[in-house]
Amino acid sequence: MTAVAGNVGALENFHLQIHQKHSPTSEVKTDSARVLGIMMNWNGGALAVRSATSIVNQTIAPTLCVVDNGSVDGSAEAIQNVSPEIRMIRNETNLGYAAANNQVLRLPTEAEYFLLVNNDVILPDSDSLASVVDYLDSHPEVKGACGRYESPSGEFQSSYNQLPTKFVMCVLWGLGRHFPGILKSKRIASYYVYDQDLTKPAKLERPAFSCVLLRRECVLSVGLMDEQFPIFFNDVDYCWRWREHGWDWLYFPHWRVIHYTSSSTRRMGDFYALELTTSAVRFVKKHFSPIAATLVRLAIVLETAYRKHYHGDIIPASMIAIWRGDFAFLTPAHTMPD
């Protein structure tokens, strides 16, 4: 990890070359096997088509494998028509984000890198991915990378966090979220990496998995995504296991990633918050000590009960089910990618 820190300074100079390398020639286009892009789609509409187009138009020409989770809006067929090189896996039902990703991660491949990318992400600079790959090629100690998430209007999106501590889980997913003083504390600001200058390259513990590049050899070490987290917290869990190997993520501020945030999860309605809460319970049960997990689960259940009683929130599950991390309430129609 020290070596990565030493290369952050070098990256500041490297970004100046990002638009100077890899002209869109046929010679560069033949380098398609080096990067395997993985995209989930569930009724993504025209945006998903634009997203897929921006990936296959990258000068490094990644192979793109799209896993369609039972779309009925014609988006799967439209994506397939973008390029004959796009590989498509069609699922009859919505398997969720983690399981769909694993369908591709299990496939045999000679690719050196995986690009996990959402169907609501656009890469506007056609040579940006090739430039990031170039940097990782020359810096083998860097295992994974992410870019600058921004809105369609160009505004910076704060989609980066540290891995959550017990305190953070009790505050942001528990009763602590109702105390403004705690929410404004330095510990919470540090969790949201507000204390870092993200106009410069930086090491991060957890970028949002809307668009991340990682080495295949690292995936072989860390393993597949944990399918007990179908929609939320699978990226948090993966980054936790990533850190257990001594790795972090290198943030490229000049790798522009336009993100139309949560275009799929908006359709979950009342199940959105419930799936997020239940996944949080499962996360702490997996990674925290029994005592710490019990305390955090208590804070989460009390907060859920508070919202149900005082705000009339619709909670389509019992408090016992939430305490246990039980997904019995979740049907395939509600499992969709982030």
Q: Tens digit of pLDDT for each residue in 63-109?
A: 999 999 999 999 999 999 999 989 999 999 999 899 999 999 999 99
Per domain, the residue ranges of the chain are 2-162+196-264
- Distance (Å, whole) CA 77 – CA 338: 21
Minimum mean pLDDT range among 70-84, 191-205, 252-266:
252-266
Check pLDDT > 60 for residue 29. no
Check pLDDT > 90 for residue 123. yes
Contacts of 125 (CB under 8 A, 6+ apart): 18, 19, 255, 256
Place of tokens 């499962």: 282
- Predicted pLDDT at 254: 96
- Predicted pLDDT at 326: 85
Chain center to CA of 119: 12
> pLDDT digits over 145-165, tens only?
999 999 999 999 999 999 999
Q: What is the mean pLDDT of the chain?
A: 86
Classify burial at 336, counting beta carbons within 10 Å of its beta carbon; exposed 0-12, middle 13-18, buried 19 or more.
Answer: buried
- Distance (Å, whole) CA 150 – CA 283: 28
Q: Does domain 2-162+196-264 have CATH number 3.90.550.10?
A: yes
CB atoms within 10 A of CB 314: 11
- Distance (Å, whole) CA 186 – CA 280: 22
Structure tokens at 240: 């936790």
pTM of the model: 0.86
The confidence band for 327, taking pLDDT boundaries of 50, 70 and 90, is: confident
User: Helix, strand or coil for residue 256?
Assistant: strand
Q: Is the dihedral of CA 31, 103, 251, 265 positive or negative?
A: positive
pLDDT > 90: what percent of the chain? Answer: 72
Distance set, CA 280 to CA 151, 223, 292 (Å): 27, 21, 13
- Predicted pLDDT at 61: 86
